[in-house]
């Protein structure tokens, strides 16, 4: 049965039998390197922070890192003997001591139960399996800690030579409160029950994502914008956001993984902005046009919904400026899954097909050591680009800091005046060696953006996605953040949007809306929670804001409580020393509901320009509004339902479906139909 | 972290030996593998996925080491080796396999063959020495051992359910 006809496989099977026999009969057991590894790992952080400057900017630094790390670990272990022999200390340190003492002196260690340290000794010798499960390291334990050995019961080797030495110790390390299950009769049962519980814990964590410094996807907590009374807050200021990552991420949760997304993964403005709306482009030489529309609010009777739409001017294919693109690819081990590096490679091959001879592409990879996989190459040399892509392999860990420096340097060296100069960071997670902190990265990315090299971030996969950090650094780098959940999205972002995402037509685009207190009692900006600016930032040209690309549309919705409607916001006591501001007489007379002000800078400019657009409300019912208005409001309602928003009013999945399918329009690419599918899926998931 | 290392370090070591590392090299690469993994916030996955991820990192460390030494990447086909390992050795770093092999040695092997295997693996006897001890031709020893390994392989794979 197991004899296969493949000789190569047979040979490998023989090899395995041979190896197993060497262990079972010959006593060639694996050494126990745990303590050595743990000690080295503990020092690793220390060493890597000490060596930060040295590692950065050098290729091949990884190997040196290891040797220095090993030397430092040895020194520290030695130091540990001197320092810690006087203190009953933590488990791992105590182990270091035992190991070091044993391996150097080969004498019994009196203070703890004997622990065989047979690791560096050659030839290998059989290891006695009875490790004492003595109560060590109590100070560190958060939960009940216990140990057992020989999980399989009778795993004693032949001829009295034990070959399986397995010991599991659950302690505070895992951060899961562990205690022996009460109804377990045998160790095997204990193991089984614990594993099941562990799995539950893990999947429960995955549901919500995790906090910083932990594995798992990371999402920043979002607090929804509340209703603001116009009396106290006449101005609403925010930065535009053209990201769409949240939509693709939500789509993956719903359609592929069949579960509701964690609320903090849902950024409503990114859901709305995923779709193109049919706004007219600008006619004169301004980079974009603004369109305002108002109608009844579909989820709250009496409220009004105001939509602000910006449309960037189109750039024809033949007028597109040359591109200098540097892809910074994470090729760490975790990228080695079909939805990560292989998907990225496919997407980049599609892009390679679109490049012209004036375009340049380079590929920088980062893992244990950063490296240049493809020097800056003309778009005409497609084969060369594709060959470089084919050679990429995932492996090693992430050293993003050094990689990003190299990528920026190459972008700078090949800078095209008047062209698109951009670093595209493609990753599934973190940077954690070199420029480590998000703060450092932000500062660096900000500096580089000022010099004309912008940054885009493409997120991939699940498990370690640092959504929060990726969004932050793409914002700082005058870039955008997209989540690639499949080849369709890869094509949309890398091929279809190449005109939009990559050709920035205006930067630091800020929106400020002044509401007329004679018309509006309160308002609420839907989404854009992490894009809110202070009112004074609007005129401050030093304050960074979002970019808009060629042909891009940006949409924002306000839910407005008209003057005279009851507003449900906590009241503030009347001021003792000031009279409350009163609307100006001409405001009362004005029919204007609000004035939209937009500030932007030319892509290479430093001073902003201001555009103003007043809105006069016509009092239209929702049914009279434009198709795009209706569709956007359905998407907003969908987002609120997914977030479990307190402002969702009477919104239901059914209502969303009804509005969205009526307002779907021609839907050439099928994106809107896909939304309907997502709504249906969310509806059925939420019923469970 | 400690749990991860303790549960998997032996398996990774065995795996590296299987891929052709000598014991000292396996020691080094096991450490590198775990340090690589522990440098990133480690995502807790199912034991099977964890073991597979560790093996992948170990393979990459091996390839990098070989590149540094300017040696031929590896004598054996890593992908095929991984496929074989994943199929029969699985998530527990060969533990089940070893238990099964132990049973098979008790049950499925004649005392004579058992003696030959012990001579070869435990006493590191040469074929000639084995032939002398068992009173048979040197050529016969080779066949005997080959058949024994083949029978053991069948028996073990039946036991581990592959």
Nearest to A202 among B44, B59, B101 (CB): B44
Q: What is the arithmetic mean of pLDDT over A314-318?
A: 74
User: Between residues 106 and 145 of chain B, which touch chain A (CB distance below 8 Å)?
Assistant: 106, 117-118, 120-122, 124
Query: What tokens appear for A104 in the block?
Result: 């150097």
Q: How far apart are CA B34 and CA A543, in angstroms?
A: 44
User: What are the chain A neighbours of B56 within 8 Å (beta carbons)?
Assistant: 333, 336, 395
Is residue A20 scored above 70 in pLDDT? Answer: yes
Q: Where is pLDDT greater, at A34 or A628?
A: A628
Angle formed at CA A339 by CA A211 and CA A469, multiple of 5 degrees: 30
Beta-carbon separation of B40 and A122 below 8 A: no
User: What are the chain B neighbours of A40 within 8 Å (beta carbons)?
Assistant: 31, 35
ipTM: 0.91
Residue A284 has φ and ψ, to the nearest 5°, of -90, -155
Per-residue pLDDT tens digits for A222-241: 788 999 999 888 999 999 88
A420-427 and A323-330 beta bridge pairing:
parallel
User: What are the chain A neighbours of B156 within 8 Å (beta carbons)?
Assistant: 17, 20
Beta-carbon separation of B3 and A168 below 8 A: yes
Sheet with A553-562, edge to edge strand ranges:
A228-229, A520-526, A553-562, A304-312, A288-296
Percentage of chain A exceeding pLDDT 70: 69
Does A658 touch chain B if contact means CB atoms closer than 8 Å?
no
Looking at chain B, which residue has its C-alpha nearest residue A38?
A: B2
Does B45 touch chain A if contact means CB atoms closer than 8 Å?
yes
CB count in 10 Å sphere of residue A203:
10
Does A137 touch chain B if contact means CB atoms closer than 8 Å?
no
Is residue B3 scored above 80 in pLDDT? Answer: no
Q: How far apart are CA A574 and CA A560, in angstroms?
A: 24
Q: How far is CA A485 from CA A246, A247, A265, A383, A538, in A?
A: 11, 10, 14, 26, 35
Angle formed at CA A683 by CA A680 and CA A686, multiple of 5 degrees: 150
Does A212 touch chain B if contact means CB atoms closer than 8 Å?
no
Q: How far apart are CA A641 and CA A263, in angstroms?
A: 9
Is residue A22 scored above 60 in pLDDT? Answer: yes
Beta-carbon separation of B18 and A26 below 8 A: no
Q: How far apart are CA A357 and CA A379, in angstroms?
A: 5
What distance lies between CA A203 and its chain's CA centroid? 18
CB A329 within 8 A of CB A313: no
Percentage of chain A exceeding pLDDT 90: 20
In chain B, the N- to C-terminal Cα span, in Å, equals 31
The burial of B68, by beta-carbon neighbours within 10 Å (0-12 exposed, 13-18 middle, 19 or more buried), is given as: exposed
- What is the predicted pLDDT for the residue at A675? 94
Mutating which of B7, B25, B44, B50 best tests the A interface, going by the most A Cβ atoms within 10 A? B44
Beta-carbon separation of B68 and A155 below 8 A: no
Length of chain A: 688
Does A247 touch chain B if contact means CB atoms closer than 8 Å?
no
- What is the predicted pLDDT for the residue at A630? 95
Sign of CA dihedral A343, A438, A409, B64: negative
Is residue A525 scored above 90 in pLDDT? Answer: yes
**CA distance to partner chain B, nearest, from residue A574 (Å):** 52
**CA distance to partner chain A, nearest, from residue B36 (Å):** 6
Is residue A686 scored above 50 in pLDDT? Answer: yes
Looking at chain B, which residue has its C-alpha nearest residue A27?
A: B122
Most confident of A41-50, A240-249, A590-599: A590-599
Q: What is the DSSP letter of B58?
A: H
**CA distance to partner chain A, nearest, from residue B49 (Å):** 11
Q: What is the DSSP letter of A381?
A: -
Is residue A476 scored above 90 in pLDDT? Answer: no
CB count in 10 Å sphere of residue A491:
16
The burial of B86, by beta-carbon neighbours within 10 Å (0-12 exposed, 13-18 middle, 19 or more buried), is given as: middle
Q: Where is pLDDT greater, at A370 or A152?
A: A370
Q: How far apart are CA B69 and CA A247, in angstroms?
A: 47
Residues forming beta bridges with residue A514, ordered by sequence position: A235, A595
Angle formed at CA A322 by CA A311 and CA A457, multiple of 5 degrees: 65
pTM of the complete model beyond 0.90 = no
The beta strands (E) that lie in B43-143 are given as: none
User: What are the chain A neighbours of B46 within 8 Å (beta carbons)?
Assistant: 199
Length of chain B: 162
- What is the predicted pLDDT for the residue at A636? 96
Helix (H) or strand (E) holding A159: none
Does A214 touch chain B if contact means CB atoms closer than 8 Å?
yes
Size of interface A-B (CB pairs under 8 A): 223
- Burial track B109-139 (b if 16+ CB lie within 10 A, e otherwise): beeebeebbbbbbbeebebeebbeebeeeee
Looking at chain B, which residue has its C-alpha nearest residue A395?
A: B60
Sign of CA dihedral A10, A13, A14, A15: positive
User: Between residues 85 and 104 of chain A, which touch chain B (CB distance below 8 Å)?
Assistant: 91-92
Nearest to A464 among B41, B64, B99 (CB): B41
Is residue A198 scored above 80 in pLDDT? Answer: no
Angle formed at CA A437 by CA A431 and CA A440, multiple of 5 degrees: 110
Does B71 touch chain A if contact means CB atoms closer than 8 Å?
no
**CA distance to partner chain B, nearest, from residue A462 (Å):** 11
Residues forming beta bridges with residue A612, ordered by sequence position: A597
Q: How far apart are CA B74 and CA A56, in angstroms?
A: 30
Query: What tokens appear for A102 in the block?
Result: 């044993």
**CA distance to partner chain B, nearest, from residue A157 (Å):** 7
Sign of CA dihedral A470, A475, A479, A484: positive
Does B66 touch chain A if contact means CB atoms closer than 8 Å?
no
Is residue A285 scored above 60 in pLDDT? Answer: yes
Q: Where is pLDDT greater, at A185 or A277?
A: A277
Q: Which of A262-266, A299-303, A581-585, A684-688 has the lowest mean pLDDT?
A: A581-585
Q: What is the DSSP letter of A452?
A: T
Q: Smallest Cα–Cα separation from B4: which of B60, B62, B59, B54?
A: B54
Does A172 touch chain B if contact means CB atoms closer than 8 Å?
no
Beta-carbon separation of A21 and B37 below 8 A: no
Is residue B51 scored above 80 in pLDDT? Answer: yes
Is residue B49 scored above 70 in pLDDT? Answer: yes
User: What are the chain A neighbours of B120 within 8 Å (beta carbons)?
Assistant: 25
Per-residue pLDDT tens digits for A158-175: 333 333 333 333 333 333
Per-residue pLDDT tens digits for A439-460: 777 788 888 888 888 888 888 8
Is residue A179 scored above 90 in pLDDT? Answer: no
Per-residue pLDDT tens digits for A120-129: 333 333 333 3
Nearest to A21 among B31, B83, B121 (CB): B121
- What is the predicted pLDDT for the residue at A356? 81
**Looking up tokens 């592959």, which residue turns up?**
B162
- What is the predicted pLDDT for the residue at A27? 77
Q: How far apart are CA A407 and CA A371, in angstroms?
A: 9
With cut-offs at 50, 70 and 90, classify the pLDDT of residue A72. Answer: low
Nearest to A34 among B5, B44, B122 (CB): B5
Looking at chain A, which residue has its C-alpha nearest residue B92?
A: A166
Per-residue pLDDT tens digits for A572-621: 788 888 877 777 888 777 888 999 999 999 887 888 999 888 888 888 88
Is residue A116 scored above 70 in pLDDT? Answer: no
Does A371 touch chain B if contact means CB atoms closer than 8 Å?
no
CB A362 within 8 A of CB A375: yes
Mutating which of B14, B39, B89 best tests the A interface, going by the most A Cβ atoms within 10 A? B39
Beta-carbon separation of A33 and B32 below 8 A: no
- Burial track A605-644 (b if 16+ CB lie within 10 A, e otherwise): eeebeebeeebebeeeebeebbebbbbbbbbbbbbbbbbe
Per-residue pLDDT tens digits for B83-117: 888 888 766 778 888 888 888 888 778 888 888 88
């Amino acid at each position: 049965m197991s004899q296969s006809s493949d000789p190569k496989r047979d040979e490998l099977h023989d090899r395995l039998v041979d190896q197993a026999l060497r262990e079972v009969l010959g006593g060639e057991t694996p050494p126990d390197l745990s303590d050595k590894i743990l000690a080295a790992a503990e020092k690793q952080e220390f060493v890597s922070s000490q060596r930060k400057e040295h590692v950065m900017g050098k290729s091949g630094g990884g190997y040196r890192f290891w040797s220095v790390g090993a030397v430092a670990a040895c020194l520290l272990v030695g130091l540990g003997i001197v320092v810690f022999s006087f203190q009953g200390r933590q488990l791992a340190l105590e182990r270091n001591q035992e190991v070091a003492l044993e391996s150097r002196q080969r004498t019994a260690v009196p203070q703890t139960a004997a622990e065989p340290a047979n690791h560096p000794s050659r030839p290998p010798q059989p290891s006695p399996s009875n490790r004492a499960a003595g109560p060590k390291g109590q100070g560190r334990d958060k939960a009940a800690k216990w140990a057992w050995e020989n999980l399989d019961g009778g795993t004693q080797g032949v001829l009295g030579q034990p070959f399986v030495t397995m010991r599991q110790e659950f302690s505070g390390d895992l951060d899961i409160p562990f205690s022996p299950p009460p109804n377990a009769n045998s160790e095997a049962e204990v193991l089984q029950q614990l594993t099941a519980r562990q799995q539950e814990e893990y999947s429960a964590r995955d549901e919500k994502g995790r906090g910083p410094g932990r594995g798992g996807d990371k999402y920043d907590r979002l607090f929804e914008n509340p209703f603001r009374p116009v009396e106290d807050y006449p101005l609403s200021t925010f930065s535009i956001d053209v990201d769409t990552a949240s939509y693709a991420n939500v789509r993956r949760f719903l359609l592929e993984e069949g579960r509701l997304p964690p609320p903090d993964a849902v950024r409503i403005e990114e859901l709305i902005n995923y779709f193109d709306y049919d706004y007219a482009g600008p006619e004169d030489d301004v980079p974009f046009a603004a369109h305002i529309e108002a109608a009844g609010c579909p989820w709250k009777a009496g409220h009004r919904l105001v939509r602000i739409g910006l449309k960037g001017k189109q750039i024809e294919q033949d007028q597109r400026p040359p591109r200098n693109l540097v892809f910074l690819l994470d090729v760490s081990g975790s990228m080695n899954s079909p939805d990560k590096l292989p998907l990225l490679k496919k997407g980049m091959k599609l892009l390679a097909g679109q490049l012209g001879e004036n375009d340049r592409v380079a590929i920088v990879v980062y893992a244990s050591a950063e490296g240049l996989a493809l020097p800056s190459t003309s778009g005409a040399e497609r084969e060369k680009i594709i060959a470089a892509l084919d050679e990429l392999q995932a492996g090693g860990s992430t050293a993003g800091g050094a990689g990003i420096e190299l990528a920026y340097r190459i972008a700078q060296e090949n800078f095209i005046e008047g062209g698109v100069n951009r670093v595209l960071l493609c990753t599934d997670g973190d940077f954690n060696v070199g420029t480590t902190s998000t703060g450092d990265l932000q500062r660096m990315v900000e500096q580089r953006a000022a010099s004309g090299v912008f940054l885009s971030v493409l997120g991939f996969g699940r498990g370690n996605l640092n959504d929060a950090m990726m969004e932050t650094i793409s914002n700082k780098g005058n870039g955008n953040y997209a989540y690639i959940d499949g080849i369709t999205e890869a094509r949309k972002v890398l091929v279809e949007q190449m005109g939009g995402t990559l050709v920035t037509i205006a930067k630091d685009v800020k929106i400020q809306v002044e509401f007329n207190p004679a018309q509006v009692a309160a308002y609420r900006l839907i989404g854009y929670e992490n894009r809110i600016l202070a009112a004074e930032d609007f005129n401050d040209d030093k304050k960074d804001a979002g970019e808009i690309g060629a042909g891009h549309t940006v949409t924002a919705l306000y839910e407005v409580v008209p003057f005279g409607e009851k507003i449900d916001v906590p009241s503030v006591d009347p001021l003792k020393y000031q009279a409350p501001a009163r609307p100006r007489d001409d405001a009362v007379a004005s029919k204007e509901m609000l004035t939209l002000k937009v500030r932007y800078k030319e892509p290479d400019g430093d001073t902003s320009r201001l555009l103003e657009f007043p809105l006069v409300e016509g009092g239209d019912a929702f049914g009279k509004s434009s198709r795009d208005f209706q569709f956007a409001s359905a998407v907003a309602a969908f987002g609120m339902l997914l977030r479990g928003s307190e402002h969702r009013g009477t919104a239901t999945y059914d209502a969303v479906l009804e509005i969205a399918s009526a307002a779907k329009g021609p839907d050439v690419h099928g994106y809107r139909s896909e939304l309907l599918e997502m709504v249906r899926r969310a509806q059925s998931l939420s019923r469970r | 972290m400690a749990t991860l290392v303790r549960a998997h370090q032996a398996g990774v070591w065995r795996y590296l030996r299987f891929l052709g590392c000598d014991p000292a090299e396996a020691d080094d690469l096991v450490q590198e593998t775990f340090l690589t993994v522990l440098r990133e916030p480690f995502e807790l996955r199912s034991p099977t996925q964890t073991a597979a991820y560790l093996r992948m990192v170990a393979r990459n460390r091996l390839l990098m080491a070989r590149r540094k030494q300017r040696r031929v990447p590896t004598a054996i086909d890593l992908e095929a080796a991984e496929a074989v390992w994943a199929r029969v050795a699985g998530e527990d770093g060969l533990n089940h396999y070893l238990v099964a092999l132990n049973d098979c040695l008790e049950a499925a092997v004649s005392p004579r063959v058992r003696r030959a295997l012990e001579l070869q693996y435990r006493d590191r006897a040469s074929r000639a020495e084995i032939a002398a001890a068992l009173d048979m031709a040197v050529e016969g020893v080779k066949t005997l051992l080959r058949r024994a390994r083949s029978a053991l392989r069948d028996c073990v794979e039946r036991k581990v359910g592959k």
